Amino acid sequence: MKVHHLILVAISFYLAYPQLVNGQLRKDCRTSCGNVTIEYPFGTSPGCYYADDPSFKLTCNDKEKLLFGENIEVINISHSGELRVWNSVSQACYDNKGNVSDELYYTYSLANLSLSRNNKFTLVGCDAFALLSTTGTRDYSTGCLSACDSPPPGNGDCNGEGCCRSDVYVPLDSIEFKTRPYGYREPTSVLDFNPCIFAFLAENGTFHFNASEDLKNLRNVKEFPVLLDWSIGNQTCNEVGNSICGMNNSICFNSTRGAGYNCKCLDGFEGNPYLSNEQGCQDINECISTIHKHNCSDPNTCRNTDGGFYCKCRSGYLLDTTKMSCKRKDFGWATILLGTTIGFLSILLVVSYVQQRMKHRKTIALRQKFFEQNGGGMLIQRLSGPGTSNANVQIFTDEGMKTSTNGYEESRILGQGGQGTVYKGILPDNSIVAIKKARLGDNSQVEQFINEVLVLSQINHRNVVKLLGCCLETEVPLLVYEFINSGTLFDHLHGSLFGPSLTWENRLRIAVEIAGTLAYLHSSASIPIIHRDVKTANILLDENLTAKVADFGASRLIPMDKEQLTTMVQGTLGYLDPEYYNTGLLNEKSDVYSFGVVLMELLSSQKALCFERPLQSKHLVHYIASAMKENRLHEVIDEKLINENNWKEIEEAVRVAMECTRVTGDERPLMTEVAAKLEGLRVTKTKHRWSDEYPGEETENLVGVGILSEQGDTSSTGYDSIKNVASMHIEAGR
């Protein structure tokens, strides 16, 4: 085993520049090494790097390679706070018997440097896993697993088959990464096409997986570029003022790594923001620059200014800002008379045209007005913008909507809520639909309507109400959905539709369907979606009592590079995540809390918020938590559900609900974990039912085929494996 240690020292600045002469470097300081430019505050000799601090000292060896520390080769230095260096590859190779014959891994001490978010931890190999871990002030581990028994076909993405990747972006004191085989490697199988497995850190976009070449020897690549973030000290810009930055056309900005700050040139300037005069930030002459070009149509009219430019027209001409070109000024009585005549004739023609087409144009104008008021422009802009795929949404007319609802007759109203009124509609082809008329009052509600169109247009899931189209040319916008004919879950639990049909089996299945849908929205949709208003009134049931999640008016799309959003708090009391309510920070754990309340309603048939209960138990979460603590859970569970065969399942479901409703979001499980646990309860129930119906040897055969027994093959799928996976995920998510 070979072990290499790479020490990256901390980078920090002080409030003085003792080695600079009038804000400039000495003329004898080296400015390049090979093809790498040496940028201050770094340097190669005393007096040329910041404050003569060895943390900023670089070495140019006899091979014209620029080194940081003892052996870290620098690729380039960015003024904005990034240091690009070469990073070696860890590997484990195997002999023809499948044993490790050569192993190489690396340990890094990062000190005050941070790995940039633009890096990936990558594993190349089959039947292998790579682990990146750290110890010190905090323990942290991440990695990925690649399992395959044959070469992946052709060139492909690094998607887990022969290659996998993991994001690495946390402040670390030190890191170690290594790779290991996943179980025993048969000499005649994987080793034939993958004799070594590799693990490495690499800057995004610098490694593209090629199965036919990389599984053999990684194309003999021994190192990859890695980005490291550096900054000045540990103070913010507000704390240090402009004593360092801002002295020469430069400004201060807080470092992206969470500590310290950096400098940058103002817009219209370029150069080194840590120096002054001709070595610092200099004005860009856009009139002659080939990179920062002006937009004057005639280059002779371009005039450079300090930090910008303008287009100057000669006497008698004016600048047309739309074309950035000069045009002659028009003056004189003849011009005025001609313009007046043309204007008068134009007015006569316009009046005549308006009189003839008044009714038609009034209708068009009114529809256009409603279209803009209802967010039509916003919808078109977002559909064509990044992060939202074009949706195939049918556009219905105002007349068609009136006909289908019989003039919005009150008898056609299916329900009313905070987001609007829902009507039953019959289209010309006799298909029945649900038409939602939004309740508008300000721009935020228009945005909610457009948001619902965007969200639903991207969801294709059997347990989500399908959006058929919309109508924007009415005074208030309309959404057209598929018709779900059996009411809401709230109606079945607390309203007139309550009946014996909602058995324990039905309620458990409904809970699994809701959890699976939310897990899909959080993890499998093209853009992660947070519903933000999960409640029983927003869960519809069809004729088979299949759950359909509805009402996405308050939902939010989460960009891929963000884990949470700061938004105005929205939701329904009783279901609202207390952490989101207090901080305004929205993430997928807010939906987990709301689902936990819905699960409690399914178990207890009690409303989420009931002022008839005692003061400390008005909220259902407190009500059930108190019952569990006092060992009287049977008093709060709906007595119609309890029998001698399902009490353990009910207790487990209650525990899942309590985990979902923990006060701190980090302590709640992910929806994927919740769905797996609830599905595990259904598998358990199926297993028990089969055991009752098929006793003896026949039962053992059924269990052996479909459900993992304690002595069975660990590669089979079934309840035990699901339970184990769910348990592991929940523990990891706390």
Structure confidence by residue, pLDDT tens digits, 360-369: 778 888 888 8
Q: What is the largest CA-CA distance in the chain?
A: 111
Give me the CATH number covering residue 331: 2.10.25.10
The verdict on residue 701 lying in a domain is: yes
Question: Do residue 500 and residue 454 come from a single domain?
Answer: no
Q: Provide the domain limits for residue 19.
A: 2-81+233-279
pLDDT over 70 (residue 455): yes
- Name the least confident of 114-118, 213-217, 349-353, 588-592: 114-118
pLDDT at 141: 79
Amino acid at 390: N
Single out the residue of 577, 573, 535 nearest to residue 552, CA to CA: 535
**pLDDT tens sequence across 548-596:** 998 776 566 565 455 565 566 777 899 999 999 999 888 899 999 999 9
Cα–Cα dist 279/269, whole Å:
12
Structural domains of the chain, count = 5
pLDDT at 449: 72
Q: Of 229, 245, 270, which one is at a domain's C-terminal end?
A: 229
Question: Do residue 637 and residue 495 come from a single domain?
Answer: yes
- Name the least confident of 1-10, 132-141, 191-200, 512-521: 1-10
Q: Which of 181-195, 355-369, 508-522 is most confident?
A: 508-522
Question: Do residue 266 and residue 181 come from a single domain?
Answer: no
Question: Do residue 220 and residue 106 come from a single domain?
Answer: yes
**What mean pLDDT do residues 685-714 have?**
38
Active-site residue (options: 533, 577, 591, 720): 533
What is the band of 697 on the pLDDT scale with cuts at 50, 70, 90? very low
pTM to 2 decimals? 0.46
The verdict on residue 626 lying in a domain is: yes
Cα–Cα dist 151/148, whole Å:
7
Q: Of 279, 297, 314, which one is at a domain's C-terminal end?
A: 279
**What mean pLDDT do residues 191-201 have?**
87
**pLDDT tens sequence across 231-245:** 877 888 888 876 667
Single out the residue of 661, 676, 665, 675 nearest to residue 734, CA to CA: 665
Query: What residues have CB less than 8 Å from 8, skipping those under 6 apart?
Result: 68, 69, 72, 108, 109, 110, 111, 113, 228
The verdict on residue 349 lying in a domain is: no
The verdict on residue 560 lying in a domain is: yes
What is the band of 354 on the pLDDT scale with cuts at 50, 70, 90? confident
Q: For this structure, is 533 an active site residue? A: yes
Q: Of 247, 262, 279, which one is at a domain's C-terminal end?
A: 279
pLDDT at 686: 60
pLDDT at 316: 67
662 contacts 670 by C-beta, under 8 angstroms: no
Give me the CATH number covering residue 439: 3.30.200.20
What radius of gyration do the chain's Cα atoms show? Answer: 34
Question: Do residue 469 and residue 512 come from a single domain?
Answer: no
What is the band of 12 on the pLDDT scale with cuts at 50, 70, 90? very low
The verdict on residue 722 lying in a domain is: yes
Question: Do residue 63 and residue 128 come from a single domain?
Answer: no
Exposure on the CB side of residue 152, measured as CA atoms within 13 A: 26
The verdict on residue 733 lying in a domain is: yes
pLDDT at 730: 28
Question: Do residue 74 and residue 147 come from a single domain?
Answer: no
**What mean pLDDT do residues 393-406 have?**
87
665 contacts 589 by C-beta, under 8 angstroms: yes
What is the band of 195 on the pLDDT scale with cuts at 50, 70, 90? confident
Q: In the structure encoding, which two tokens stand for residue 182, read together?
A: 């996943």
The verdict on residue 529 lying in a domain is: yes
The verdict on residue 345 lying in a domain is: no
Question: Do residue 295 and residue 433 come from a single domain?
Answer: no
Question: Do residue 621 and residue 594 come from a single domain?
Answer: yes
Question: Do residue 629 and residue 644 come from a single domain?
Answer: yes
pLDDT over 80 (residue 694): no
Give me the CATH number covering residue 167: 2.60.120
Question: Do residue 393 and residue 493 come from a single domain?
Answer: no
599 contacts 653 by C-beta, under 8 angstroms: yes
Question: Do residue 422 and residue 526 come from a single domain?
Answer: no
